[in-house]
Structure formats: C-alpha cells, structure tokens
C-alpha cells in the first residue's frame, strides 16, 4: 500500500502520518509513502475553478501508485482520488477509517490495543467522508456509524450531541473564501458540543481538525468565545491505544491542548484480555 | 450553465428540502431553492449569485433532493463562471498561486519540516521534489491560464 499524505498531513499534521505507520506496523500491513505526490487537489476549491484541472492532477497522483492501493487519512484527498479513480476507471483508493472498519474490523482492533482510552468523545465525521452517497456507497449518507463504533473499540464513549452531522464550517472553500461564515458555523457546532461533557472532538480529516483546533483560537480573537476543547484524529488515538507514546502523535503541537486529555492518554485503562 | 444542467433543474418542484437541509443558508444569504426558482421562472443565471461562495459543499441538499437534482455539483459548476467574471473571494485568491508555485494548496514551511524531522518522517511531497513540482505547476498553469488572471 501507498500512503497519500496530501498537503495538510505532510505539511501541518505529520503526527497523523506517524500514528498511521505505527498502527499499520502493529497490524502487520505494509505501507510506504507515495513519493512525489502533490496536492490531491482539494475537491470543492479546485472544482469551483476548473473540473479539468482537478481531474488531471488527481489522475497524476493516482498513476504514481502504479495500481497499488492508495491509503488516505483526509476526507478531501479521499474524495478527490476516489472520485477521479471512478471516473478514469483505475486506482484503488481507501480512507483509513473505512479501511479499519471494513478490512480490519472492530473486533481485531479491540484485540490489538494494549490499553483502553476512557475518553468521552464528540464524533465528527466530516461531510466528505460519507457524502455524496453516489460515490461513497459504503455507509449511510444520513447516519453513519463507522466512527462511533471505531471509537468504542478503543474503550472510549461516543457522546451524542446536537448538530452531529453538521459541517465544521471549513469546507467548500468557505474557511478561506468567506471566513466569517466559516466562524459562524463553527460557533454553532462548538456550542452544541460544549453542551455535553467531553474530553475531545475526534475527526478523520486534517481539514476538520484544523478548523476545530485553529478555529477555536480564531473564535477567541474575533468573537471572544473560548471553548478549550482539544481535537484529535482517530488514528492518533488508535496509535496511543496500541502503545505509541502520545508525544509521537504530535498532539502537543495542536493549538488547543488539555493536560487532562494527555493524562488519560498516558495512563489509559487495562485492556481486556 | 449548459442545456444539460437546465434540463436537470427543470425537475425542481420547489419543495424546499434543499434549503431546509442547508446549514450555511441559516446564517447567510445562500438560498438554494430561490436560486433554482429564479432560474426556472425568470431565467436568472445560477452564476449571478455571489452567495454561492457560502456553500460548504456538505452535499446534504443534493443527497436529499427528492427529484435527484445534483444541487451541490450545480453550485460548483456555477462558481467556475463566477470566478471567471469576478475572481476568487477572500484568501482563496492566494490558494491557487500556492498551488501553481508549490504544487500545494497548503505549502509547508521550515517549521513544518522540522516537525517531520522530529518524528523521523521523510519529506516527499512534490513541493520538495523539483521535478515533480514543475510537472504539477505546468498542469496548473495550463488550466488556469484561461480561467483566472
């Protein structure tokens, strides 16, 4: 398998990549970096300008893998490469969350962890993980369960909250193109999450991570709203549950951190035999 | 918008499921139902609406449309014309210059490379590979030439 990092993981959240290699090594699945791969390019932003540009760069990235499976850990990269592969009829593109769920399975994940993480988590799928259903046929376009079950497999609790299926406000070029709208949507989402008792927000996309994490800092400045909720990618939690040092996940570099969360990650709970 | 899109929009029954599903429409002037209605009733081009830039492309409208109208795809397509006419809004302007120059919409800086080094990860994005970067830059230049300048 080849790992496709995209810009956000390669250039902003390398801890996601480190965690993914740790998990795959633990599961004895061979994976190596897709060298020379570029921006996927980001689906909505690029399609807003030129469908042909989107298709041609996407095709170049797929062809680099020479028919080897392409593993992504970003909803944007997954969407672009998956849709382009369907259009050109070549390339096997996966998102790590659906791969873990369908090909590894929650039972095996349960057996593979060395410690359970007793966390209360607000699950956020990210729109492009499960929509449009025309392409992402593997789950419900309204009520996906994959990430909730993956979270339970590592001993954490998925806490239900209002607006669970709402966008983080970071997609479609809105974060860069209409920042105020993006912040308004983020505020609605965070208000709903903060009504529940949670240790962290868990995502499967570095763009959502960036929106929740850096977005909270921005809300402090622009709207004087402070939430202090850390955000993590699921693969970072899974790596820790499998025994990786929390520092190697890079969460210490996220904007919002919490000693409480780090303590829980370090200690964990004894895994079932 | 081409005839093909026009024919699809003709199926709209103005039920409002799209705007009822639209989180962005709650806080902005984006009103998908009205945009489709004005197109159908008065021939107003979809791309006349600047509010199209407020769509987060969550696909809820498209997923739920009982007539199978690909609302989000229509919005993305209309944005092509909007971008041609008026350019890109906000910081999106810079994004494509990054893509052209670095082959990355989110380019890495020294600090980011240090993080990779600290974690013992290789640097292999096309941004840091002269040949790969030039190859991607050429693709971007070729397509953007007729689109935005």
Does the CB of A214 have a partner CB in chain B at under 8 Å?
no
Exposure string for B48-66, b = 16+ CB within 10 A, e = fewer: ebebbbbbbbbbbbbbebe
pLDDT one digit per residue (tens) for chain A, 273 residues:
999 999 999 999 999 999 999 999 999 999 999 999 999 999 999 999 999 999 999 999 999 999 999 999 999 999 999 999 999 999 999 999 999 999 999 999 999 999 999 999 999 999 999 999 999 999 999 999 999 999 999 999 999 999 999 999 999 999 999 999 999 999 999 999 999 999 999 999 999 999 999 999 999 999 999 999 999 999 999 999 999 999 999 999 999 998 999 999 999 998 765
The ipTM assigned to this model is 0.95
Check: CB of residue A87 under 8 Å from CB of residue A47: no
A166 and A249 inside one domain? yes
Tokens linked to A47: 């399609």
Across the interface, of A11, A60, A171, the residue whose CB is closest to B112 is: A11
- Report the distance separating Cα B125 and Cα B104, nearest Å: 9
Does the CB of A105 have a partner CB in chain B at under 8 Å?
no
Distance from CA of A178 to the nearest CA of B (A): 6
Q: How far, in whole angstroms, is CA A255 from its chain's centroid? A: 16
Chain A CA closest to residue B56: A172
Chain B CA closest to residue A38: B126
For residue A12, being part of any structural domain is answered with: yes
For residue A120, being part of any structural domain is answered with: yes
Backbone phi, then psi, for A94, in 5-degree steps? -125, 155
Backbone phi, then psi, for A53, in 5-degree steps? -65, -45
Last residue of a domain, which of A77, A100, A123?
A: A100
Number of CB pairs, chain A paired with chain B, less than 8 A apart: 190
Distance from CA of A174 to the nearest CA of B (A): 6
For residue A134, being part of any structural domain is answered with: yes
For residue A88, being part of any structural domain is answered with: yes
Contacts of A128 in chain B (CB under 8 A): 57, 59
Segments of A2-160 assigned E as strands? 2-3, 32-33, 69-72, 92-95, 115-116, 120-123, 157-158
Chain B interface test: which of A128, A181, A239, A251 (most B C-beta within 10 Å): A181
Task: Provide the residue range defining the domain that includes A49.
Answer: 2-100
CATH number at residue A164: 3.40.50.11810
Classify burial at B16, counting beta carbons within 10 Å of its beta carbon; exposed 0-12, middle 13-18, buried 19 or more. middle
A129 and A225 inside one domain? yes
Distance from CA of B26 to the nearest CA of A (A): 9
pLDDT tens by residue, B125-134: 999 999 999 9
Contacts of B94 in chain A (CB under 8 A): 176
Contact criterion met (CB < 8 Å) for A36 and B59: no
A242 and A192 inside one domain? yes
A88 and A133 inside one domain? no
For residue A45, being part of any structural domain is answered with: yes
pTM for the structure as a whole = 0.97
Classify burial at B123, counting beta carbons within 10 Å of its beta carbon; exposed 0-12, middle 13-18, buried 19 or more. middle
């Amino acid at each position: 398998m080849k790992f496709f990092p995209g810009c956000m993981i390669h250039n902003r959240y390398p801890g996601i990549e480190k965690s993914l290699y740790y998990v795959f090594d633990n599961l004895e699945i061979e994976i190596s970096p897709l060298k020379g791969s570029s921006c996927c390019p980001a689906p909505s932003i690029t399609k807003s300008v030129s469908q042909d540009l989107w298709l041609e760069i996407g095709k170049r990235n797929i062809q680099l893998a020479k028919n080897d499976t392409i593993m992504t850990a970003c909803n944007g990269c997954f969407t672009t490469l998956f849709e382009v592969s369907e259009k050109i009829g070549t390339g096997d593109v996966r998102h790590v969350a659906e791969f873990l769920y369908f090909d590894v399975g929650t039972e095996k994940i349960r057996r593979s962890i060395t410690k359970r993480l007793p966390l209360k988590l607000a699950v956020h799928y990210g729109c492009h993980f499960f929509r449009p259903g025309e392409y992402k046929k593997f789950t419900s376009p309204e009520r996906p369960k994959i990430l909730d079950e993956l979270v339970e497999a590592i001993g954490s609790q998925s806490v239900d909250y209002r607006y669970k299926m709402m966008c983080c406000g970071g997609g479609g070029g809105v974060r860069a193109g209409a920042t105020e709208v993006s912040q308004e949507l983020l505020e609605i989402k965070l208000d709903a999450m903060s009504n529940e008792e949670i240790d962290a927000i868990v995502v499967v996309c570095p763009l959502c991570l960036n929106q929740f994490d850096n977005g909270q800092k921005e809300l402090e400045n622009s709207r004087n709203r402070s939430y202090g909720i850390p955000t993590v990618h699921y693969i970072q939690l899974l790596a820790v549950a499998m025994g990786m040092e929390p520092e190697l996940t890079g969460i210490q570099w996220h904007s919002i951190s919490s000693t409480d969360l780090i303590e829980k990650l370090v200690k964990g709970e004894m895994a079932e035999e | 918008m081409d005839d093909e899109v026009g024919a699809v929009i003709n199926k709209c029954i103005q039920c409002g499921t799209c705007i009822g599903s639209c989180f962005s429409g709650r806080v902005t002037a984006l009103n998908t139902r009205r945009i489709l209605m004005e197109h159908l009733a008065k021939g107003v081009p979809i791309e006349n609406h600047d509010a199209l830039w407020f769509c987060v492309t969550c696909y809820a409208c498209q997923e739920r449309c009982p007539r199978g109208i690909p609302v989000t795809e229509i919005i993305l397509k209309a944005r092509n014309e909007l971008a041609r006419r008026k350019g890109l809004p906000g910081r999106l302007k810079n994004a494509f210059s990054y893509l052209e120059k670095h082959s990355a919409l989110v380019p890495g800086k020294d600090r980011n490379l240090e993080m990779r080094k600290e974690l013992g990860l290789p640097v292999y994005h096309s941004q840091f590979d002269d040949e790969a970067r030039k190859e991607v830059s050429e693709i971007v230049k070729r397509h953007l030439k007729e689109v935005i300048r």
